[in-house]
């Protein structure tokens, strides 16, 4: 859409006091990455077949999927070309950028998300060298997914009921779904797209259960795409979001696969049925760990999208004067509006930085694991659980705050804020539900508190537990260091309270698991345990308000620095040119309800009632 840039946005951009490009380069981890990202954006976004004539929202459930799958295979082809270097973009090791522009292409979810994001990465991480050589061929016919959750079990994965029983006479595993609750339910791309899957099942050899293992199973014929004998597969129906992801169900009726289809990098079943144990029994859960780490950065990106839309809109939208004799003000001038939005910008940066740090930690710990050193895995798991839980919860709350900050127009699908919310709130549940993950972190903290309480040696990372016990915490200081000290005091205090409740429950004769359950609200909820005083809080509050005023002139510059293209934002409210009302009117004109001046329902249903006595 052509036309002039909104005057208020022009003025906002003139006011900006910092170099926007410099911040963009920081966000991209370097100018080179910015250049590459833009090359990839240009290449992919210029593919005409990826763009819709009719907005996605007006399509039926079936049409949405068919439209998305058409685009998914165009994108897959491009990703393969990038991978093999056939598209001359020198280095594309900035995967989040390739993936993030897909938000614009699909306005929803790529049905191949799990194929690319989890299927391949799990094979790469958990299959033996020989298996990888066979399965990771660039021209493979396999379209796969990651099949773990069942109708009856999602969080408690030890309760998974699908079995894989070794038959040494034929050198095969028999995959079986013993009852309705054991049906696989949820995997993305399973409904219609996938012809293969990685399935999590209980391994049985000679009547002994060895727990959960991952198996590669073909489920559809590669040529006809018909389900193989013994496979019952389908799609689970419409959801709050993720409606192009064809999440599916799957049941096995004694479906046989070769023994060599168990992922055997860390654990093996030999021809004679000998079971060779892994070095750590949670290595099978590695894909969940990796995805939790990846999600932190993805959620930071979703926050930057929501912030861009809401801040630009707030600079364009004028409503109410502040003094009655003045003109109406940009809603961005209201301090309460700044509070709603600037926190979203800040949170995006926080989770981006933490996400990168976690990504690098994951790389380091994985390299150690390859060398046989598992020592850092528990801490990484505890951190990933906590950060995935809070980043998803914060992101969905802040995206919703941005939507509300756009008033009624934020409720329009054309603002794209409802879709971003539906996407982020799903992340609170998938890949480990919020409370369940926080309890994993609590379990880790309580272990170290027990050491502290028993005056046993603590690792350096937990020295502050001892400081708390010895009351070595300094008085509160209003400085970054003081705030960090404050957080340490909160963690220590909260862990102590939960631990004390746990001990009290145990003394009262409860068994550990029951005592744990009774303490679980304390284990997940933070309390104020720092040495902060009322005066400190007042000082912090006024400093916060000063900071809002300092950020105000740079608000639009800050979101421009996220450098998200209009085709990706997909928002009438957030486009770079700020022509909000023109875009809203243009989008409304696409509604099928505007195709006829008089809708035929008038003649069928309305007129017979309203004109009844007048005909």
SS3 (DSSP) at 237: coil
Closest by CA position to 5, among listed 404, 419, 560, 413: 560
Nearer to ligand LIQOTWCQ, 155 or 527 (CB): 155
Among 155, 170, 319, 591, binds ligand LIQOTWCQ (CB under 6 A): 155
Active site residues per annotation: 431
The residue whose two tokens read 């992801």 is 245
SS3 (DSSP) at 530: coil
Nearest-angstrom CA–CA distance, 421 and 241: 9
Among 93, 158, 456, 604, binds ligand LIQOTWCQ (CB under 6 A): 158
Within 10 angstroms of residue 589's Cβ, the number of other Cβ atoms is 9
Residues of this chain that interact with ligand FAD (CB under 6 A) are 114, 146-149, 154-155, 186-188, 242, 247, 426, 429-433, 435-436, 439, 520
445 counts as binding ligand LIQOTWCQ under rule CB under 6 A: no
Closest by CA position to 247, among listed 198, 182, 186, 181: 186
Site string for ligand LIQOTWCQ, 249-288 (x = CB under 6 A): ---------------------------------x--x--x
Q: Which helix (H) or strand (E) holds 36?
A: helix 31-45
The residue whose two tokens read 């659980």 is 385
425 in a labelled binding site: no
Q: Could you tell me if 205 and 268 are in contact, meaning their C-beta atoms sit under 8 angstroms apart?
A: no
Nearer to ligand FAD, 429 or 599 (CB): 429
DSSP secondary structure letter of residue 261 = G
248 counts as binding ligand LIQOTWCQ under rule CB under 6 A: no
188 in a labelled binding site: yes
Q: 556 phi and psi, to 5 degrees?
A: -70, -40
355 binds, among ligand LIQOTWCQ, ligand FAD, none (CB under 5 to 8 A by kind): none
143 binds, among ligand FAD, ligand LIQOTWCQ, none (CB under 5 to 8 A by kind): none
List the structure tokens of 570: 């997909």
Q: Which helix (H) or strand (E) holds 216?
A: strand 208-218
Among 13, 443, 552, 565, binds ligand LIQOTWCQ (CB under 6 A): 443
Q: Which helix (H) or strand (E) holds 372?
A: none
Closest by CA position to 291, among listed 199, 392, 368: 392
Instruction: Name the minimum Å distance from CB 143 to ligand FAD.
Output: 14
List the structure tokens of 383: 């951190």
The residue whose two tokens read 């698991």 is 513
Nearer to ligand LIQOTWCQ, 110 or 337 (CB): 110
Q: Could you tell me if 204 and 164 are in contact, meaning their C-beta atoms sit under 8 angstroms apart?
A: yes
Site string for ligand LIQOTWCQ, 112-151 (x = CB under 6 A): xxx-xxx---------------------------x-xx--
Nearer to ligand LIQOTWCQ, 193 or 554 (CB): 193
Residues making contact with ligand LIQOTWCQ (CB under 6 A): 99, 110, 112-114, 116-118, 146, 148-149, 155-158, 188, 282, 285, 288-289, 291, 294-295, 298, 377-378, 381, 430-432, 436, 440, 443
Instruction: Pick out the residues of the known binding site for FAD.
Output: 149, 188
Residue ranges of the annotated binding site are: 149, 188
């Amino acid at each position: 859409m052509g036309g002039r840039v909104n005057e208020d946005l022009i003025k906002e951009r003139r006011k900006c006091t910092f170099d926007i490009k410099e911040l963009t380069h920081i966000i991209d981890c370097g100018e080179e990455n910015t250049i590459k990202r833009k090359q990839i954006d240009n290449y992919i976004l210029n593919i005409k077949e990826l763009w819709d004539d009719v907005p996605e929202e007006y399509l039926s459930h079936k049409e949405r999927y068919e439209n998305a799958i058409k685009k998914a295979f165009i994108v897959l082809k491009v990703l393969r070309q990038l991978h093999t270097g056939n598209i001359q973009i020198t280095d594309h090791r900035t995967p989040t950028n390739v993936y993030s522009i897909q938000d614009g292409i699909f306005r929803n979810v790529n049905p191949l998300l799990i194929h690319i994001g989890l299927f391949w990465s799990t094979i790469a991480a958990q299959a033996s060298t020989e298996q990888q050589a066979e399965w990771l061929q660039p021209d493979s016919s396999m379209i796969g997914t990651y099949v773990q959750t069942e109708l009856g079990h999602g969080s408690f994965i030890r309760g998974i009921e699908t079995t894989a029983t070794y038959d040494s006479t034929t050198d095969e595993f028999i995959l079986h779904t013993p009852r309705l609750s054991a049906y696989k339910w949820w995997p993305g791309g399973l409904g219609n797209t996938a012809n293969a899957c990685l399935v999590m099942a209980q391994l049985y050899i000679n009547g002994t259960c060895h727990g959960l293992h991952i198996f590669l199973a073909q489920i559809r014929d590669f040529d006809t795409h018909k389900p193989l004998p013994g496979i019952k597969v389908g799609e689970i129906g419409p959801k709050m979001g993720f409606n192009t992801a064809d999440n599916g169900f799957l049941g096995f009726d004694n479906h046989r696969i070769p023994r060599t289809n168990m992922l055997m990098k860390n654990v093996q079943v030999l021809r004679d049925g000998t079971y060779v144990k892994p070095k750590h029994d949670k290595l099978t859960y590695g894909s969940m760990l990796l995805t939790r780490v990846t999600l932190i950065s993805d959620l930071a990106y979703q926050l930057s999208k929501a912030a861009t839309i809401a801040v630009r809109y707030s600079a364009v939208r004028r409503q109410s004067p502040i003094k009655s004799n003045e003109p109406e003000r940009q809603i961005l001038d209201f301090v309460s509006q700044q509070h709603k939005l600037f926190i979203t910008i800040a949170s995006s940066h926080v989770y981006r930085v933490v996400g990168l740090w976690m990504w690098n930690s994951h790389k380091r710990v994985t390299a150690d694991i390859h060398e046989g050193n598992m020592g850092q895995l528990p801490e990484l798991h505890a951190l990933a659980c906590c950060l995935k839980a809070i980043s998803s919860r914060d992101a969905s709350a802040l995206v919703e705050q941005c939507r509300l900050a756009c008033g009624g127009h934020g409720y329009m699908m054309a603002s794209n804020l409802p879709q971003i919310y539906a996407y982020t709130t799903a992340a609170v549940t998938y890949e480990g539900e919020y409370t369940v993950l926080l309890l994993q972190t609590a379990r880790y903290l309580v272990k170290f508190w027990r050491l502290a309480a028993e005056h046993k040696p603590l690792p350096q990372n937990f020295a502050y537990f001892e400081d708390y016990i010895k009351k070595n915490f300094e008085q509160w200081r209003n400085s970054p260091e003081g705030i960090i000290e404050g957080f340490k005091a909160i963690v220590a205090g909260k862990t102590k309270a939960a631990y004390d409740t746990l001990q009290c429950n145990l003394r009262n004769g409860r068994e550990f698991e029951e005592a744990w359950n009774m303490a679980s609200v304390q284990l997940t909820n933070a309390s104020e345990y720092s040495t902060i005083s009322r005066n400190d809080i007042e000082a912090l509050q006024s400093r916060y308000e000063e900071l809002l005023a300092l950020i105000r002139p740079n608000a639009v510059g800050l979101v421009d620095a996220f450098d998200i293209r209009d085709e990706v934002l997909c928002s009438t409210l957030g486009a770079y040119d700020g022509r909000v009302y023109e875009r809203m009117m243009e989008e409304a004109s696409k509604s099928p309800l505007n195709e006829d001046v008089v809708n035929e329902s008038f003649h069928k249903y309305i007129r017979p009632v309203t004109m009844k006595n007048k005909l």
